Amino acid sequence: MTIPSYSNHVETASANTLGSRLHRLRKAHRHTLADIATDLGVTRQSVGKWEQNQIQPTYAHAQALANRYDVSVSWLLFGNDGSREMAIVSATFKAIVAKLGVDKALDLLAAAES
């Protein structure tokens, strides 16, 4: 009987974090911590702490990183493409349209945007 290694479990569990995604992207593009830090105006230590999941980047920094690596902010931060959230919004809007009708639902949406 093989006993699973605890360290393997920890590595697998942490593979789906902002830090691990950022680290993989940075390595794949052959960027150094200093490259990222200089471009974003932060310290190399801050980028290292992001990758180690010790601190989180600001949303502005996450946005800049997502743009740099051509990924969505949602994927970088949460490991998804936002499609689940969009499906929920779509289903909710369809339910509102079914209950109120198209014209009233659009009026409600227009009022919310202003």
> What is residue 57's three-state secondary structure?
coil
Model pLDDT for residues 40-82, shown as the tens digit of each residue: 999 999 999 999 999 999 999 999 999 999 998 988 998 886 6
Residues 42 and 61 sit within 8 Å (Cβ to Cβ): yes
Distances (CA, A) of 42 to 52, 76, 99: 16, 18, 50
Distance CA 23, CA 82 (A): 21
Residues 36 and 65 sit within 8 Å (Cβ to Cβ): yes
Contact partners, residue 94, CB within 8 Å, separation at least 6: none
pLDDT at residue 83 in the model: 66
Beta strands (DSSP E) in the chain are none
**The pair of three-digit structure tokens given for residue 31, joined into one six-digit string:** 């960027």
Model pLDDT for residues 5-46, shown as the tens digit of each residue: 333 333 333 568 999 999 999 999 999 999 999 999 999 999
**CB atoms inside a 10 Å sphere around CB 30:** 7
pTM of the model: 0.61
Question: 6-78 belongs to which homologous superfamily?
Answer: lambda repressor-like DNA-binding domains (1.10.260.40)
Domain positions in the chain: 6-78, 83-113
